[in-house]
Amino acid sequence: MTIYRTHCCNELNLRNKNQKVKLSGWVNKKRDHGNLLFIDLRDHYGLTQCVVDKSKSIFKEIEKIPLETVLKIEGIVIEREKETVNESLETGEVEVRIENFEILGHTKELPLPVFSDQEYSEEIRLKYRFLDLRRKKIHNNIILRSKIISFIRTEMQKYGFLEYQTPILTSSSPEGARDFLVPSRLNPGKFYALPQAPQQFKQLIMVSGFDKYFQIAPCFRDEDARADRSPGEFYQLDLEMSFVEQEDVFKIVEELFVNLFKKFSSKKLLHEKFPRIPFDEAMLKYGSDKPDLRNPLEISDLTEIFKRDDVNFDIFKKLVSHGSIVRGIVTKNTSEKSRSFFDGIDKWAKEEGSSGLAYFSIEKSENLIAKGPVGKFFSEKSLKEIMKLMNASIGDTIFMSCGKKSEVEKLLYKARNKIANELNLIDDNVFSFCWVVDYPMFEFDENTKKIEFSHNPFSMPQGDTNNLDLSEPLKLKAFQYDIVCNGIELSSGAIRNHKPNLMYKLFEIAGYSKETVNDKFSGMINALSYGAPPHGGIAPGIDRIVMLLADEKNIREVTMFPMNQNAQDLMMNAPSEVDDNQLKELNISKRKN
RNA sequence: GGGGGUGUAGCUCAGUUGGUUAGAGCGAUCGCCUGUCACGCGAUAGGUCGAGGGUUCGAGUCCCUUCACUCCCGCCA
């Protein structure tokens, strides 16, 4: 009890009948009958209907109070007549008869309605975020976020992890995303960088002997935004463990995620032991390293089919003879679908910038036949082979794409989603987790024509690390893994390379000299030379976890004060100009051109 | 950096083939109404049709430029 309230707006019920109470909150809604006025008073906790009629001298005054004014109301708890009880309200059995009131906070005319389910422009929402956040849905999302983070902390501590803070001002690193830079006043011409993740620090924590670390860690990356990617900053559940291998990390994370998702969602988990899918298999079967396993469609390679003499699909055959590949998706029992369905898919594929998706359905009269625009090019024997390869039956349809490997993968990844959505094959009431494992250590960058780290340069390569064959670096796999849920990448992690000599060799393959490594990763490489334990970890994205659990498509819906797509805070006017004096002190001058 | 969508009253939107004075709901203001819970009824105010330019007898509507918001590609180890 405070001078402002004896109860919160969700608390009153019949047990409080006839009590004199004080409530404080916002005017959510008024229903003015002229001689009788209802006010729904709202606070963080709930809603209470308050009522006053013209017999009270304050009636005329209270009638004029606009919505979203902050009021303190004093009154008596009254039992509602049976027929006026509001079942949908926690406090719906009672109402407060207003005896007195005080305006605690006036409001100007509102730029947006708080009591409304209608959508309104992102610009208004972000500028008046404090009003937007009063609305029920987003208010509850933010509460959910808090509860999720709190649950994670408790669980992690239960598993024996301790939370440690790491610096926000650190050094720029050459790998990865663009850094946010902070000029140093005391070191003219030098810059700090905000951490893209506490990657090096968490490994240093392991070298320091702390064994199990976690942190709800802010991460800063100066890259462009997406619906599921905040510009600038986001949060990770960063964790790292010593004396573990990959499966030990998986065990902890699976337990955490299963408990977390069971607690905060009524949706079912498709697997409680998450499937492990090798990267190469994921790229083949799903066209992506973030497969949505709710989707039953799978991709198969059909390139060999187009080398047969009894297949006359010349366009594909010609491309295949020049090194292209063919892959396809089979859909079950779709041969009776309308022509417009198939043409719609083909048209969609062309809009995606491809040359389209060839298709035929398998039917049987006397013999097996392929029905569809390209069906005539396939012999019965070749059809049997395709059916065997793709596990297809009579009545099924085969969609095919031909081209460069990366293009085919990309198109069929999208086509898998498109076709599954058209056929309504995805169960929206399910969470489907999986691990993608065995990532390649390196990849070939077509643009720079150089070998680069495909993920994290600190990952441990697979194989005999004391005697590793580095002659074919593109064939090297790493103990590098991703966790994926419903097609959304939640996190990357790895068993780290704690052997400095091996690390120098790997960096050399990616074009970094020993001197560069010493210079750019001095903290890390130095530490690894003084008795580093084997260690590994992962860093699931908090924002995306909350998005999944809140069933939201946009990260702003689970972020209290987000920036817009251009990385501006419309409420605080950030970024902003600064005084010339500030710049001078920092030894910075603006370029004039 | 590139592509798509949107922009009309404080908010959400409609606006036909280019044609008279640009409309509705919510909100605001005023009036009526004692059981509503999206209360109801009536009235009033409120518009640089994102901005600039062009075509036309005439532009919210067509064209060009530009700005803002948003979605996607690039980017995000």
Averaged pLDDT for residues A354-377: 89
**With pLDDT > 90 as the criterion, what percentage of chain A qualifies?**
79
CA of A218 vs C1' of B7, distance in Å? 35
pLDDT in tens, A479-510: 999 999 999 999 999 999 999 999 999 999 98
CA of A314 vs C1' of B5, distance in Å? 39
Long-range contacts of A409-413 (CB under 8 A, 24+ apart): A409/A283, A409/A287, A409/A288, A409/A327, A410/A287, A411/A287, A411/A349, A411/A352, A411/A354, A411/A357, A412/A287, A412/A299, A412/A327, A412/A328, A412/A329, A413/A286, A413/A287, A413/A288
| A520 has pLDDT over 80 | yes
Q: Name which of A338, A331, A341 is nearest A362 in CA terms.
A: A331
pLDDT in tens, A125-155: 999 999 999 999 999 999 999 999 999 999 9
pLDDT in tens, A258-308: 999 999 999 999 999 999 999 999 999 999 999 999 999 999 999 999 999
- Helices assigned H by DSSP within A432-493: none
| A449 has pLDDT over 90 | no
Give the residue with minimal CA–C1' separation from B32. A34
Averaged pLDDT for residues A47-70: 93
CA of A547 vs C1' of B9, distance in Å? 35
CA of A69 vs C1' of B44, distance in Å? 24
CA of A234 vs C1' of B28, distance in Å? 40
Lookup: nucleotide whose C1' is closest to A29 CA: B37
CA of A114 vs C1' of B12, distance in Å? 13
Lookup: nucleotide whose C1' is closest to A173 CA: B77
Give the residue with minimal CA–C1' separation from B34. A36
CA of A271 vs C1' of B77, distance in Å? 29
Lookup: nucleotide whose C1' is closest to A33 CA: B33
Give the residue with minimal CA–C1' separation from B28. A109
Lookup: nucleotide whose C1' is closest to A54 CA: B34
* Residue A78: pLDDT band with limits 50, 70, 90: very high
- Distance, in Å, from the CA atom of A365 to the CA atom of A176, rounded to the nearest integer, reads 58
CA of A4 vs C1' of B44, distance in Å? 38
Per-residue HEC secondary structure of A406-421 comes to HHHHHHHHHHHHHHHH
3-state secondary structure of A591: coil
Instruction: Write down the mean pLDDT value for chain A.
Output: 93
Nucleotides of B under 7 A from a protein CB: 1, 10-13, 26-30, 32-40, 68-77
**With pLDDT > 70 as the criterion, what percentage of chain A qualifies?**
99
Task: Say what the pLDDT of residue A43 is.
Answer: 96
Task: Say what the pLDDT of residue A450 is.
Answer: 82
Averaged pLDDT for residues A440-463: 86
Give the residue with minimal CA–C1' separation from B41. A33
| A521 has pLDDT over 90 | no
ipTM: 0.91
Lookup: nucleotide whose C1' is closest to A200 CA: B77
| A549 has pLDDT over 80 | yes
Give the residue with minimal CA–C1' separation from B68. A123
Pairing of strands A94-105, A47-53: parallel
| A478 has pLDDT over 60 | yes
CA of A42 vs C1' of B20, distance in Å? 49
| A523 has pLDDT over 90 | no
pLDDT in tens, A160-210: 999 999 999 999 887 789 999 999 999 999 999 999 999 999 999 999 999
Tokens of A343: 């043409």
What are the counts of helices (DSSP H) followed by strands (DSSP E) for chain A? 16, 24
Task: Say what the pLDDT of residue A592 is.
Answer: 65
Lowest mean pLDDT among A37-41, A81-85, A249-253, A450-454: A450-454
Lookup: nucleotide whose C1' is closest to A67 CA: B27
Contact A144, A550 (CB under 8 A): yes
CA of A53 vs C1' of B45, distance in Å? 29
Lookup: nucleotide whose C1' is closest to A177 CA: B76
Query: Which pTM value belongs to this model?
Result: 0.94
Task: Say what the pLDDT of residue A593 is.
Answer: 55
Lookup: nucleotide whose C1' is closest to A447 CA: B74
Contact A397, A361 (CB under 8 A): yes
| A511 has pLDDT over 60 | yes
| A351 has pLDDT over 80 | no
Rg of chain A over Cα atoms, rounded to whole angstroms, equals: 31
Task: Say what the pLDDT of residue A205 is.
Answer: 97
3-state secondary structure of A64: coil
| A119 has pLDDT over 60 | yes
